[in-house]
Homo-oligomer: A and B are copies of this chain.
Amino acid sequence: MATIKDVAQKAGVTVTTVSRVLNNRGYLSKDTRDKVFQAMEELNYKPNAIARSLYAKKSGIIGLILPALRHPFFAELAGFIEQYANLHAYKLLVCDSNHDALREKEFVDLLKSNQIDALIMASHTLDVREFAGLDYPIVTFDRIIDGLSYVCSDNYRGGVLAAERLIHVGCEHVAHICGNLQLDLLSNDRTKAFLDVMDKHGINPIIVQTQTDVFDYKHYDNMIYPLLKDHPHLNGIFATSDLLAAHVLRACYEMNIKVPGDLRVIGYDDVSLSELLVPQLTTIHQPIQEMAEMAVILATQAQEADRFQQAHVFPVHMIQRYTC
């Protein structure tokens, strides 16, 4: 690998001059500049970002911890985050915790060790204490942790929209499928809202939760088939993710339950999967792209001045397709 010294030698100048060209500071003649650039070209020189980081105490890297890259929501989110990180000249180090608290903790250490400039946490099992003494800005997704800024969709509103829609179309026997409520997530507000509205209408939904530690799609089926089997009169389901809703639709097809005829289904997220399903999924849209953008902005633009907690709750709306 060519170093700045090689470039200096080739261009017949000193490293200081090369550095000046590189960083465009001090007096420089066009002639020298050209010579240096040519030398860099010939040697295919790229400044060593590691060395620069060491001096600058900035790595230009954003860490992203998420529970499962293969989950369509997080894949889309990560894609957008990468895009915006790039736009702000940051690189993205992606860590897939697989919903494992221990790995999450290890990642936090790992990322600290790697001098990341900011951390975006979209994985949720960690205890608050783990963040003590971390010296970079942290943005969380869908979770409130004491002093940290966070980004989420208006979960409560989303739950209300879903509930009202089901009621509006006349569902009386409804179920709700959600992630584990013991995890201290803002997305639990969807459930809360859903129950609040249902309660107001004298309806008492069946609630099915995923397990905390399981993130296996087979597990979804193990919840959904019994639910449908044991409650043949069910006519409305609100699932807290499009992925869950997709499992419901598939189960319905196989159990010969007509959607939306026999059963109405509403999802949450509006990932591109939802448009692909048969029938296309009615869902609550959360603006993933804007949320990703905000997360990156919060992560990178955090001034010392505004290191206090900022909440960014994004509006949701219902996308009415063909399942409800």
A72, B112: Cα distance in complex, Å? 30
- Inter-chain contacts of A91 with B (CB < 8 A): 93, 95, 110, 114
Chain A 108-143 per-residue mask, 1 if CB under 8 angstroms from chain B, else 0: 011011110000000000000000110100000000
B133 and A44 within 8 A (CB): yes
Among the stretches A149-157, A230-238, A269-277, A301-309, the one at the interface with B is A269-277
Q: A48: CB under 8 A from chain B? A: yes
Partner of A250, one of B44, B46, B246, B280: B280
**Looking at the complex, which one of B53, B61, B96, B113 makes contact with A46 (CB distance below 8 Å)?**
B113
> Whole-angstrom distance between the alpha carbons of A110 and B49 in the complex?
9
CA of A76 to CA of B68, assembled, Å: 9
Q: How far is the CB of A231 from chain B (nearest CB, A)?
A: 21
Q: Kindly state the separation between the CA atoms of A50 and B58 in the bound complex, as whole angstroms.
A: 10
CA distance A277 to B253 in the complex (A): 10
B115/A49 in contact, CB under 8 A: yes
Complex: how many Å from CA A91 to CA B106?
12
Bound-state CA distance A11–B54 (Å) is: 25
Instruction: Say yes or no: A50 contacts B54, CB within 8 Å.
Output: yes
Which residues from chain B contact A217 at a C-beta distance below 8 Å?
Answer: 272, 275
A residues apposed to B, CB below 8 Å: 1, 44, 46-51, 53-54, 59, 61, 68-70, 72, 75-76, 78-79, 82-83, 86, 91-96, 98, 109-110, 112-115, 132-133, 135, 217, 243, 246-247, 249-250, 253, 272-273, 275-280
Would you give 23 A-B contacts (Cβ < 8 Å), ordered by A? A46-B112, A46-B113, A48-B115, A50-B54, A50-B59, A54-B54, A68-B79, A69-B75, A69-B79, A72-B75, A78-B94, A82-B95, A83-B96, A86-B95, A91-B95, A92-B93, A92-B94, A94-B94, A247-B276, A273-B276, A277-B277, A277-B278, A278-B278
